[in-house]
Amino acid sequence: MSSQIYRSASKAVKALLSASKSSPLFGEGRAVAAAAATSFRGKVPAVASICERADSRNAFRGWVSGALVLPAAVYMLQDQEAHAAEMERTFIAIKPDGVQRGLIAEIISRFERKGYKLVAIKLVVPSKEFAEKHYHDLKERPFFSGLCDFLSSGPVLAMVWEGEGVIKYGRKLIGATDPQKSEPGTIRGDLAVVVGRNIIHGSDGLETAKDEIGLWFEPSELVNYTCNAEKWVYGVN
């Protein structure tokens, strides 16, 4: 619902931008802002009031204030779009080998520096039964029992990361399952050697991400907040 509203806000922002580009002195800004205000009215009160304010100032002060006010309104709209976008979430875990090798900070910093947002984190020693639930899709594989023994052998750093495309791109940051095949530059490529000790887990799809986040975290452990960097990480030109 909110994403639809902001998608239409986004379209209007683009219309505003292209209209303003076609008129170097923003001479048509007033008409464009008025049109946008009309199309938002009743849907996005905050956005409509920004446009209306810009419009009424233009009416009294002419194109000079239009040149100042319209771009400000445009950038405010873009900010709102970035904050309101529905963001994907993925479950990432540093397995006992990554924790014991002191790689927590290294791994977290790769997700952080990319621009993703940490929304949940905790250090836990899962039981073998819990590990079996987590890896239930691998129960027919010969390494299943050993894998679950290993995951439950010590502290695991469980996390939820949020951001556009974070499920798929998180897997790219992690690298191929077998570190012998992971590209240099990936977490497993740079920091692990064998498949049995590949230091990190990441959800492999939307459904898996939902299931794994639900398995490892209570809804109250997921923290919703606005990160100040978001307006610099996201934006449309």
Nearer to ligand IDP by Cβ, of 26 and 161: the residue is 161
String of b and e for 119-129 (b: at least 16 CB within 10 Å)?
bbbeeeebeee
H or E segment and range at residue 91: strand 89-94
Task: Please list the residues that pair with 33 across neighbouring strands.
Answer: none
How many CB atoms lie under 10 A from the CB of residue 25?
A: 11
Q: How far is the CB of 202 from Mg ion (least distance, A)?
A: 8
Q: How far is the CB of 182 from ligand IDP (least distance, A)?
A: 9
Is 62 a residue that touches ligand IDP (CB under 6 A)? no
| Residue 46 partner contact from ligand IDP, Mg ion, none using kind-dependent CB cut-offs of 5 to 8 Å | none
Half-sphere exposure of residue 84: CA atoms within 13 angstroms, side-chain side = 19
Concerning whether 136 is annotated as a catalytic residue, the answer is no
Out of 129, 143, 232, 236, the only residue in the binding site for ligand IDP (CB under 6 A) is 143
Nearer to ligand IDP by Cβ, of 94 and 147: the residue is 147
- Complete DSSP assignment for 93-157: EE-HHHHHTT-HHHHHHHHHHHT-EEEEEEEE---HHHHHHHTGGGTTSTTHHHHHHHHTSS-EE
For residue 234, which of 185, 160, 162 has the smallest C-alpha distance? 162
Site map (CB under 5 A) of Mg ion, residues 197-226, x = contact = -------x----------------------
Per CB under 6 A, contacts with ligand IDP among 74-113 are none
Is 232 a residue that touches ligand IDP (CB under 6 A)? no
| Residue 221 partner contact from ligand IDP, Mg ion, none using kind-dependent CB cut-offs of 5 to 8 Å | none
Site map (CB under 5 A) of Mg ion, residues 146-185, x = contact = ----------------------------------------
Per CB under 6 A, contacts with ligand IDP among 164-193 are 177
> Residue 106 class from Cβ within 10 Å (0-12 exposed, 13-18 middle, 19+ buried)?
middle
Nearer to ligand IDP by Cβ, of 70 and 148: the residue is 148
Half-sphere exposure of residue 147: CA atoms within 13 angstroms, side-chain side = 20
Is 201 a residue that touches ligand IDP (CB under 6 A)? yes
> Residue 22 class from Cβ within 10 Å (0-12 exposed, 13-18 middle, 19+ buried)?
exposed
Nearer to Mg ion by Cβ, of 106 and 204: the residue is 204
Is 204 a residue that touches ligand IDP (CB under 6 A)? yes
The region that residue 134 occupies, defined by phi over 0 for left and psi between -120 and 50 for alpha, beta otherwise, is: alpha
- Contacting residues toward Mg ion, per CB under 5 A: 204
- Contacting residues toward ligand IDP, per CB under 6 A: 138, 143, 147, 177, 195-196, 198, 201, 204
Active site residues per annotation: 201
